[in-house]
Structure 1
Amino acid sequence: MSVDARPLARARRLTLLAVVAGAAAVVPSAAADAPLLRTASTIGTAPAAPRIVGGSPVAITAVPYQVRIRVRGDGQPWGTPGPFSFATCGGAVIAPDTILTAAHCTFAGVNRIPPASFVVDSGFSRLDPTPGAGGAVIPQAGDTAQTRSVADVRRHPRYRSREGDQATLAQLTDDVAVLRLAAPLRYDAATQPVALPAPGQSPLGTARVSGYGVRSGGGTQDGGLYALDVPLLDAAIPEAKGGAGELNALYAVTRSRAGSTCQGDSGGPVVQAGTIVGIVSSGAACGAGQSGFHTNVAAPEVLRFVQGEANPPLAPVGGEGVALRAPTSTPRTGDTLTCSPGSWTNAPTFTFAFTDTRDGTTLQSGPATYLLKPADAGRTVACTGYATTAGGVGRTPQTPATPAVIGGAAPAAARTRLRLALRAPAVVRRGGSIRVEAQVRNVGGSRARGVRTCVTPGARFVVAASSGGVRAGGRRCWRTSSVRRATTKTFRLRVRAGARSGPAPLVTGTATATNGRTARDVARVTIRR
Structure 2
Amino acid sequence: MRAAITALAGVLALGTAGGATTVATAAETTLGAEARPPLAAKPAIVGGVPQTIQQVPWQVFLEATVSRTEAYDCGGSVLNETQIVTAAHCVINPRTLQRFPEGDIAVIAGVSSIPTSERTIQRRSVTSFRVHPGYVPTLGGVSPDDVAVLTLDAPLDLSGAAVRAIPLIGGTFYPALGTGALISGFGRQVAGGTPDGRLYALGTSIGDPLACGAEANATVLCVTSPTGSACEGDSGGPLTVGAVLAGVASFVSTNGLTGECGVGSVNGYTNLAAPEIALFVQGSDTPPVAPRGGRDVSARGVFQARGSMTCAPGTWTDAPVFAYSFIDTSSGQLLQAGANASYTLLDTDAGRTIACQVSASNAGGVAIARTQSSPPIAVAPVPPVDAEPGRRATPKPALRLSLTASRSRAAAGASIQQTIHVANRGRAAARGVVVCAAPGRALSFTKLQRGATQSRGKACWRLGTVRARTTRTLQLTVRLSRAAKPGRTATAITLRSGNAGSRALSAPLRIVR
TM-score (norm 2): 0.61
Secondary structure of 1:64's aligned partner: coil
Aligned residues of 1:198 and 1:298 also touching (Cα < 8 A): yes
* 1:308-365 alpha-carbon deviations (Å, 9 max, x no partner): 1111121111222333322x23x223x4321222332222210011234465443322
Which stretch shifts more, 399-408 or 173-182? 399-408
Secondary structure of 2:191's aligned partner: coil
Secondary structure of 2:232's aligned partner: coil
Aligned residues of 1:202 and 1:248 also touching (Cα < 8 A): no
Please name the residue that 2:355 is paired with: 382
Is residue 207 of structure 1 aligned with residue 181 of structure 2?
yes
Secondary structure of 1:304's aligned partner: helix
Please name the residue that 1:234 is paired with: 208
The alpha-carbon deviation at position 407 of structure 1 amounts to 5.9
Is residue 125 of structure 1 aligned with residue 118 of structure 2?
no
* 1:467-497 alpha-carbon deviations (Å, 9 max, x no partner): xxxxxxxxxxxxxxxxxxxxxxxxxxxxxxx
Please, which of 113, 131, 134 is the counterpart of residue 158 of structure 1?
134
Is residue 312 of structure 1 aligned with residue 287 of structure 2?
yes
How far, CA to CA, are the matches of 2:385 and 2:305 in structure 1? 13
The alpha-carbon deviation at position 152 of structure 1 amounts to 1.9
The alpha-carbon deviation at position 210 of structure 1 amounts to 0.6
Bigger Cα Rg: 1
Aligned residues of 1:332 and 1:410 also touching (Cα < 8 A): no
- The residue identity in structure 1 corresponding to 2:206 is L
The alpha-carbon deviation at position 247 of structure 1 amounts to 2.3
The alpha-carbon deviation at position 209 of structure 1 amounts to 1.2
Please name the residue that 2:267 is paired with: 292
Aligned residues of 1:3 and 1:400 also touching (Cα < 8 A): no
Unaligned residue ranges in structure 2 (runs of 5+): 1-27, 255-259, 387-513
Aligned residues of 1:154 and 1:179 also touching (Cα < 8 A): yes
Please name the residue that 1:351 is paired with: 323
Is residue 338 of structure 1 aligned with residue 310 of structure 2?
yes
How far, CA to CA, are the matches of 2:382 and 2:58 in structure 1? 60
How far, CA to CA, are the matches of 1:247 and 1:412 in structure 2? 54
Aligned residues of 1:68 and 1:90 also touching (Cα < 8 A): yes
- The residue identity in structure 2 corresponding to 1:2 is T
Distance 1:63 1:405, change over 3 A: farther
How far, CA to CA, are the matches of 1:90 and 1:410 in structure 2? 67
How far, CA to CA, are the matches of 1:7 and 1:380 in structure 2? 13
- The residue identity in structure 2 corresponding to 1:349 is V
Secondary structure of 2:41's aligned partner: strand
How far, CA to CA, are the matches of 1:184 and 1:402 in structure 2? 60
- The residue identity in structure 2 corresponding to 1:352 is Y
Please, which of 31, 40, 57 is the counterpart of residue 4 of structure 1?
31
Aligned residues: percent identity?
Answer: 38
Secondary structure of 1:305's aligned partner: helix
Is residue 260 of structure 1 aligned with residue 229 of structure 2?
yes
Aligned residues of 1:4 and 1:321 also touching (Cα < 8 A): no
- The residue identity in structure 2 corresponding to 1:252 is L
Please name the residue that 1:369 is paired with: 342
How far, CA to CA, are the matches of 2:90 and 2:224 in structure 1? 23
Is residue 68 of structure 1 aligned with residue 61 of structure 2?
yes
Unaligned residue ranges in structure 1 (runs of 5+): 18-50, 75-82, 129-136, 238-242, 414-529
The alpha-carbon deviation at position 67 of structure 1 amounts to 0.6
Please name the residue that 1:112 is paired with: 99
Distance 1:391 1:69, change over 3 A: same
How far, CA to CA, are the matches of 2:354 and 2:364 in structure 1? 30
How far, CA to CA, are the matches of 1:11 and 1:224 in structure 2? 32
Please name the residue that 1:16 is paired with: 42
Secondary structure of 1:111's aligned partner: coil
Distance 1:406 1:7, change over 3 A: closer
The alpha-carbon deviation at position 63 of structure 1 amounts to 1.4
Is residue 177 of structure 1 aligned with residue 153 of structure 2?
no
- The residue identity in structure 1 corresponding to 2:357 is T
RMSD over aligned CA atoms reads 2.8
Which stretch shifts more, 359-368 or 297-306? 359-368
How far, CA to CA, are the matches of 1:381 and 1:221 in structure 2? 45
The alpha-carbon deviation at position 219 of structure 1 amounts to 1.2
* 1:38-82 alpha-carbon deviations (Å, 9 max, x no partner): xxxxxxxxxxxxx611111111122111111122224xxxxxxxx
Q: How does 1:22-101 map onto structure 2 within 5 Å?
A: 52-74=45-67, 85-101=70-86
Aligned residues of 2:124 and 2:152 also touching (Cα < 8 A): yes
The alpha-carbon deviation at position 256 of structure 1 amounts to 3.1
* 1:378-403 alpha-carbon deviations (Å, 9 max, x no partner): 76543211011221111113641453
How far, CA to CA, are the matches of 2:379 and 2:36 in structure 1? 36
Aligned residues of 1:332 and 1:409 also touching (Cα < 8 A): no
The alpha-carbon deviation at position 193 of structure 1 amounts to 2.0
The alpha-carbon deviation at position 244 of structure 1 amounts to 2.4
Distance 1:192 1:405, change over 3 A: farther
Is residue 279 of structure 1 aligned with residue 248 of structure 2?
yes
The alpha-carbon deviation at position 145 of structure 1 amounts to 2.2
Distance 1:402 1:370, change over 3 A: same
How far, CA to CA, are the matches of 1:292 and 1:54 in structure 2? 14
- The residue identity in structure 1 corresponding to 2:204 is V
Please name the residue that 2:298 is paired with: 323
Distance 1:373 1:290, change over 3 A: closer
Distance 1:410 1:283, change over 3 A: farther
- The residue identity in structure 2 corresponding to 1:273 is G
How far, CA to CA, are the matches of 1:123 and 1:358 in structure 2? 47
Distance 1:229 1:9, change over 3 A: closer
- The residue identity in structure 1 corresponding to 2:182 is R
Aligned residues of 1:350 and 1:387 also touching (Cα < 8 A): yes
